[in-house]
Amino acid sequence: MSLTCQEILKNHQPLWQEATVHPFLEGCKQGTITPEQFNTWLVQDYQFVVEFTRMLARILSVAPRHHFDVLLGGLTALKDELNWFQAKAAERNLSLDVAKQRTCEEYSQFLGNLARTPYAVQATGLWAVELAYNQGWQLPGPMPEPYTEFADRWGNSGFTDYVKLLAQQADEMLRDASPEVQKEAEQTVITVAQFEKAFWQMAFNAS
């Protein structure tokens, strides 16, 4: 029996919902988020994306050749994203040289440890991380300024297509994976969902 990304989501629907529907995103949509709360998220997410870029580079290093196009496209998008984060921080007079909050630190460590898992698990984890932001920023619908470009960055249709390609690549690997590896992939999606939920919540913690 082979497991697919869609089936994993279906198996954990309530948890996935908590990862992608959160008062932080609703606050952006309604314009009720405070600048301090938004800035807390922004600075922590920059730190996260630095580590996430390293994770994608490690995944590329073990991927089969026919997955390179999609992964290299992802790395190129991250190059742009990191520079964009720096520009957004500069506009807001924010220093990006800040300590990671505990959730960001633990999520980063989790991404580091993913390199010890089979490629099928890594590919599934990569898909889950990107899907969380794609759905999270897309589900509320168009956001008001100054959040429009943030919602568009992860909610745009090109990003949705990229996430679909990541699912196809993960599914291809899960098809030939052992039941143990499939279970590990499913557990990875569960952990990603828990971290994503906690990550939104950081904006409401004292920083």
Give residues in contact with ligand HMH (CB under 6 A): 45, 48-49, 52, 129-130, 132-133, 196, 199
Residue 53: in which H helix or E strand, if any? Answer: helix 35-60
Please state the separation of Cα 13 from the chain's center in Å: 17
Q: Which is nearer to ligand HMH, 43 or 129 (CB)?
A: 129
Q: Which residue is nearest to ligand HMH (CB)?
A: 133
Beta carbon of residue 178, minimum distance to ligand HMH (angstroms, whole number) = 28
Beta carbon of residue 60, minimum distance to ligand HMH (angstroms, whole number) = 16
Q: Which is nearer to ligand HMH, 173 or 192 (CB)?
A: 192
* Helices assigned H by DSSP within 100-178: 102-113, 119-138, 148-155, 157-175
Q: Which is nearer to ligand HMH, 24 or 119 (CB)?
A: 24
Beta carbon of residue 20, minimum distance to ligand HMH (angstroms, whole number) = 10
What sign does the CA torsion over 133, 135, 127, 106 have?
positive
Give dist(CA 88, CA 204) in Å, integer. Answer: 20
Q: Which is nearer to ligand HMH, 128 or 177 (CB)?
A: 128
Beta carbon of residue 2, minimum distance to ligand HMH (angstroms, whole number) = 26
Provide the CB-side half-sphere exposure for 141 (13 A, CA): 1
